[in-house]
A = this chain, B = another copy of it.
Amino acid sequence: MSLSMYEASVPVFKQLLVALDANLAKAEEHAAARKIEPDALLHARLFPDMFALIRQVQVACDFAKSVPARLAGVDVPTFDDNEASFGDLRARIAKTLAFAESLDAARFDGSEQREIVLRPGTPKEKRLDGKAYLLAYALPQFFFHVTTVYALLRHNGVEIGKKDFMGAY
């Protein structure tokens, strides 16, 4: 075996969230320079029954805190979903990263076989081992939400490119 559960989670979230943070900063500057109401971007959706940009960022952060917490075997921190500005969203990213990076990589050892119970006690309860939880469930959804934020910014004319999505690697 050649990858640790830590390597396949925290650094991946960090790379993409640091990039997302920079893209949100660019979006805020873009709106200010063109006298665009920030809410026009913050509440943008690709289709009426999809999440708006604010919610997409919140959910991306939720994966980036809940996955490391569950793999490390610690409680998932609760964040209020009350962000209303680019600054608020960037602060949420910052606290998400601070939490994820506070976890000791050694706590992730063995988590590939640990049972993860999602939505426990509800009709939608789902049990996965840590490996399936990370690779089949969580990473696809994390990437889904960070990519959708990028799609929303691009669709609304913010001048960023795939390099900005990718961040530093």
Contacts and interface: CB of A to CB of B under 8 A. Distances in A.
A3 B112 CA distance: 8
Interface stretch (A26-34, A84-92, A132-140): A132-140
A143 B165 CA distance: 11
Stoichiometry (number of copies)? 2
A157 B111 contact: no
Nearest to A47: B154
Nearest to A108: B2
A162 B148 CA distance: 12
A165 B147 CA distance: 13
Contact of A147 (B11, B135, B144, B154): B144
A144 B169 contact: no
Q: Is the interface of A mostly helix, strand, loop or mixed?
A: helix
A11 B135 CA distance: 9
Contact of A155 (B3, B15, B47, B128): B47
Contact of A140 (B7, B15, B157): B15
A139 B136 contact: no
A141 B47 CA distance: 23
A162 B51 CA distance: 11
B131 A2 contact: yes
A132 B169 contact: yes
Nearest to A143: B143
